[in-house]
Amino acid sequence: MKKKKKKKRTHIPFRLNFLFFIVFLLFSLLILRLGFVQIVSGESYKEEVEKTEDVVIHTPVPRGHMYDRYHRVIVDNKPLKAITYTRSQNTKQQDRIEVATQLAEMIDMPFYSSFLEGENKEREKVPGEVRITERDLKDYWLIKHPKKAEAKLTEQDLEKVKNDEMEEKDLYKLQLDRITKKELQTLKSDLEVIAIKIKMDTGYALTPQIVKSNVTDVEFAKVSEHLQHLPGIDVMTYWDRQYTYDGLLRTLLGNVTSADEGLPREQLDYFLSRNYSRNDQVGKSYLEKQYEHVLHGQKARMVSVTNRSGQVIETNQVSEGQRGSDLILTIDMELQKQVEEIVTKGLQRGKASGGAPLLDRIFVMLMDPHTGEILTMAGKQYVIDSKTKKAEIRDFALGNMTTSYEMGSTVKGATILAGFDSGAIRPNQYFVDQPLKFASSPPKKSYVNMGSINDVTALQRSSNVYMFRTVMAMANASYVYDGPLRIGSSTFEKLRSYYAQFGLGIHTGIELDSESTGITGRNPQPGNALDLSIGQYDTYTPLQLIQYVSTIANGGYRVKPQLVKEIREPLLGSEDLGSIQHSFEPHILNRVTMTDDQINRVKEGFRRVMQVPGGTAYKQFSSAPYSPAGKTGTAEAYNKGRSVRNSTLIAYAPHNNPEVSMVVVVPSAYMQGGSSSLSQEIGRQVLDTYFGLTAKGEEELREEENEQVVDEQ
């Protein structure tokens, strides 16, 4: 009989049990630990989590510079001292009053309270002055006198809140309403403290707020010495704009908000969404505003770590700031300077002449007709000073694009080309220049009877009748002596559409706000169509006029006017310019529909105006060595209820290869005893100056480029 085999015992059950025991033990320890963390230490850990908070702070940097086309500095930055206040998240009102009281002993804060001192409408605001309102006084009084403030409320008032008949916030309003003027009078000695506190309250928590800008060295030293006793107060340097050429081109360069103004209210949300601070300086007009995104730069980024009480534990710089990029303008500032001197002398001469009461402004522009780069944009006007009540000459460069005038015969080139393109007239067509008599109206004529003339002579001698005949042909209107003139409104539209091809009566494309397109006459009487053809009905800006003459000068291409040539990277600690970030290329808006041969007919007429005897500007420009071409204009207008003449001039040179175009507009230049040739006299001086200075500017630029090459090597 076989012996039964013994069954082998296994140890697997024991090992599994041991493993389960270990897992059970670990889970038990984990549950105990979680219970300890949540129940025993939960509150302390929660406090630890809430202990710190990161707050991002952006600090300002200098704005970018502006240079002229030859890299001369136009707008720079100058450092100014300022006192700032940074409040923590839980700072109490009483704490701020204590700091403001101490600060009032160290600085002189300008303030004005119309409520306590009486309204004075003639009083001018002092720079940096704080206006203290009645509400400011009442808010301060309640903080300063808490017990008296509490006494302003009756038991009835409190009962109403308790019974939900009135909200708690209404109690504060009741307190404000019950403060008497006599009680507010007691605050006269605290006005400076109130003014400082108002500035301190303006900013956000943990964001530096300028309390006073442009402080004196003495104030700066006093505050710096006592910073440890002035929680939240600090001193800093900020930058204000500095203009190398003083008032030159100031209206066009634009302005920035002051450190006291901060962000414009109407654009507050726009700037805050782009990481601006409320007290940041920003461009608020023209070039400063248009290129704010370029000039503003990248602010330094700081992160402040605060505890649960809102106190700053530490501050770390995350990224360095970079000042704004630089703008290279198309303007030649030395040329601008000399042109403005010419304009000022012309304005002074006009004021001394028989036209003294009316001649109050002059405009001159120079532009590259091929690129649209504006070389000079000068404008001056007489302004009555609010303090002295005397007339003084101030910059009005902006008037070149914001004001419009009847430009007279300068538009006749566009009229001839409209006649060509519409088929109403043909090149070298002759008309007899003699007075035209229509029913129930005085004769329409030129300044002299010219006899039989063609298109070129009509421009040379500035014939009105030739233009009248052209418009009549466009309207299919036949002429009968003392008969009716039949011209419909469609002819106005047709002629204006041709003018628009050259930029007359429409936006020029310049990238600045407030450009005027002129005034379009609204009375479609037949005689007004004739006046329109000689520039004595619609009005145009000097900017539109220079775009028009440039279009003829360059062979028919309407080019967008440019004021900025390049955007350059900023270089810190160096006077050299950085590399080019963006270059503005010429922008052709449209090509006129006239042929080259037709445009050349007008260009020949313009050449004869200045270079051939009988031309209306021959006397002034015949000796000019730079072969100019152009067109004069004299428009009848009204100024302050009196009949005047606008003296205008358009030109370009040299006539066979134009490198510069020019416009001169002298509104109200001619009265009894005045001079209608003032625009020609100014124009000759300006072109002489241009051709004398251009070579000098180009030489300066070459020398600068050569120096940079040597430095790099």
Residues recognised as catalytic: 409
Distance CA 258, CA 313 (A): 32
Give me 399's structure tokens. Answer: 């008037």
Edge-to-edge strand ranges of the sheet holding 53-59 = 53-59, 300-306, 312-319
Distance CA 60, CA 281 (A): 9
DSSP 693-712: HHHHHHHHHHHHHHHHHHHH
| Contacts of 582-587 spanning 24+ positions with Cβ under 8 A | 586/370, 586/371, 586/372, 586/559, 586/560, 586/562, 587/372, 587/509, 587/559, 587/560, 587/562
Distance CA 572, CA 578 (A): 9
Distance CA 499, CA 507 (A): 12
Alpha helices in 145-211 (DSSP H): 146-151, 155-162, 169-177, 181-185, 191-202
Distance CA 326, CA 165 (A): 62
Give me 318's structure tokens. Answer: 């995350």
Cα angle 315, 320, 323; round to 5 = 130
Q: Which residues of 217-238 are buried (b: 16+ CB within 10 A; e: fewer)?
A: eebbebbeeeeeebbbbeeeeb
Distance CA 206, CA 232 (A): 9
- Look at residue 313 and give its three-state secondary structure: strand
Residue written as tokens 């001169």? 664
Q: Which residues of 571-583 are buried (b: 16+ CB within 10 A; e: fewer)?
A: eeeeeebeeeeee
- How large is the C-alpha radius of gyration of the chain? 38
Give me 554's structure tokens. Answer: 């360059």
> In sequence order, which residues have a C-beta less than 8 Å from that of residue 490 and are 6 or more positions away?
none
DSSP 471-528: HHHHTT----TTB-----HHHHHHHHHHHHHTTTTS----S-TT-----------HHH
| Contacts of 514-519 spanning 24+ positions with Cβ under 8 A | 514/398, 514/401, 514/402, 515/401, 515/402, 515/541, 515/543, 516/401, 516/402, 516/403, 516/404, 516/541, 517/404, 517/541, 517/544, 518/404, 518/544, 519/404
Query: Among residues 108, 299, 328, which one has the least CA distance to residue 218?
Result: 108
Residue 222 parent element (H or E): helix 217-225
Q: Please report, to the nearest 10 degrees, the dihedral formed by the alpha carbons of residues 46, 52, 54, 57 taken in order.
A: 140
- Look at residue 328 and give its three-state secondary structure: strand
Distance CA 369, CA 77 (A): 33
Tell me the one-letter amino acid at 611.
Q
Distance CA 673, CA 254 (A): 38
Distance CA 63, CA 621 (A): 45
Distance CA 451, CA 463 (A): 10
Give me 89's structure tokens. Answer: 């998240």
> In sequence order, which residues have a C-beta less than 8 Å from that of residue 619 and are 6 or more positions away?
none
Task: Let me know: does 663 contact 364? Beta carbons within 8 Å.
Answer: yes
Give me 379's structure tokens. Answer: 């404008």
